[in-house]
């Protein structure tokens, strides 16, 4: 079973594919001071790109975790 790393750097990969499962690392917005809607759009677009590069899409998600630092 091979491991395919997507957008690797010195510390981690943005995504990893192993045994047909895509694992995506935590994603953060490019504009951290933008409103929550803008940040959400940015992050979901990043996830779409990573899934596409891995040969998948959001319709095949098994699990998703969302953390919000401050929703006020």
Tens digits of per-residue pLDDT, 18-31? 999 999 999 999 99
**Per-residue pLDDT, 72:** 66
pLDDT over 70, % of the chain: 96
Task: Give the residue among 72, 64, 62 at the shortest CA–CA distance from 43.
Answer: 64
Confidence band, pLDDT 50/70/90 cuts, at residue 1: confident
When computed from its CA atoms, the radius of gyration of the chain, rounded to whole angstroms, is: 13
- Fill in the DSSP letter of residue 67: -
Q: Give me the residue label for tokens 């990043």.
A: 46
Q: What are the residue boundaries of the structural domains of the chain, listed by start?
A: 3-60
d(CA 37, CA 20): 31
Q: Give me the residue label for tokens 């510390």.
A: 11
- pTM listed for this prediction: 0.85
Average pLDDT in the chain: 92
pLDDT in tens, 39-53: 999 999 999 999 999
CATH class given for the domain over 3-60: alpha beta
């Amino acid at each position: 079973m091979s491991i395919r790393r997507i957008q690797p750097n010195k510390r981690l990969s943005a995504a990893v594919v192993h045994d047909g499962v895509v694992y995506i690392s935590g994603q953060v917005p490019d504009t951290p001071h933008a409103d929550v809607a803008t940040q959400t759009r940015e992050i979901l677009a990043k996830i779409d790109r990573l899934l596409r590069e891995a040969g998948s899409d959001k319709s095949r998600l098994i699990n998703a975790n969302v953390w919000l630092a401050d929703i006020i």
